[in-house]
Amino acid sequence: MISVCVISCTTQEPIYQPIVLKENFQNKGHKLIYETVEKVGNFELLRYDKKDVIATYKLDKPEGKSDISLEKYIFEGELSYGKYYRHDYTMPNLAGEIIQANDGEQVWMSHNQVTLNSPSIINEASSDRANNFYWFTVLHKLLDPDLFYNYLGTKTIDSNKYDVVEVMLDPERIKSTNQYHVYINKKTGLVDQLVYDSESLGEEYGPRLIQLEYESIDGVYLPNKRRYKKSNWDAEIDDSPWTYETWSEVSFENELTKEDFRNPEYYF
């Protein structure tokens, strides 16, 4: 089955309904990804049922640097807000509180309640907002349009058996080096880890392994504890230290509106 969204013409509120579509999978890999996404909760569930989320994000780098931010997202339109209480990694040259937001119309940023308009600052804030939103929803968006799937076979790691699926932007339509090897636990049906590489990281960076831990929150399996380090495409790692990410104090359905994402300096 494939779940899609139906918008009722008689009400202002969208209604999420599952509809059965047959023979819609590209291959075995696509089917496996669909099954694991349905298990954790697909993006339509977030968009039309949960609607928004507020969470505390923490990044801990091995050299002792940390980011701590209050994150707010509206899933429809992918609105993104981050208020940083600590930012050793993100814009470390700016001492004090920084706020970044994508309000659906523009990206803005403030430093100690003063709006910054430098193009380089806005570009960095735009990238941060898109990245933080994406990585919060990464598993839920594995059925996005323009994705291509390739089943790579099975692999056993530490007595756990996995189906391994390659996910990338469809090479027939989009030129990109972004790709993932997704390790789906045969017993649980969940993604335990993935290896990914992104052209945004630079060629010298190479793939890295991300291992996931889940928490069930309001009907959504959220991989809110993660650790990652450099790897190869066989998921082999060295003894270098891990980087850790956590999303805590997660709450859905907060009745956020676009006004919550706008720059208070320009909207009254």
Structure confidence at residue 215 as a pLDDT band (50, 70, 90):
very high
Q: How confident is the model at residue 15 (pLDDT cuts 50, 70, 90)?
A: very low
Q: What values do phi and psi take at 107, rounded to 5?
A: -100, 135
pLDDT of residue 5: 32
Task: Specify the pLDDT at position 26.
Answer: 85
pLDDT on residue 179: 84
CA distance 76 to 54: 14
Least confident of 9-18, 160-169, 222-231, 232-241: 9-18
Average pLDDT over residues 121-131: 95
- The residue among 75, 73, 40 whose CA lies nearest residue 55 is 73
Q: Which pTM does this prediction carry? A: 0.86
* End-to-end alpha carbon distance in the chain: 47
* Integer angstrom CA distances of residue 120 from 80, 91, 125, 199: 19, 11, 9, 19
Helix (H) or strand (E) holding 71: strand 66-74
Token pair in block for residue 262: 């706008």
Q: Which of 211, 209, 212, 220 is nearest to 251 (CA)?
A: 220
Residue type, 165: V
Q: H-helix or E-strand containing 40? A: helix 28-40
With beta carbons less than 8 A apart as the criterion, state whether 254 and 53 touch: yes
pLDDT tens, position by position, 73-122: 999 999 999 999 999 999 999 999 999 999 999 999 999 999 999 999 99
Q: Report yes or no: 111 and 96 within 8 Å, Cβ to Cβ.
A: yes
pLDDT value, residue 9:
31
* Mean pLDDT for all residues in the chain: 87
What whole-number distance in Å separates Cα of residue 80 and Cα of residue 99? 11
- What contacts 203, CB < 8 A, 6 or more positions away? none
Q: What pLDDT, in 10s, does the model give residues 176-213?
A: 557 899 999 999 999 999 999 865 444 456 789 999 99
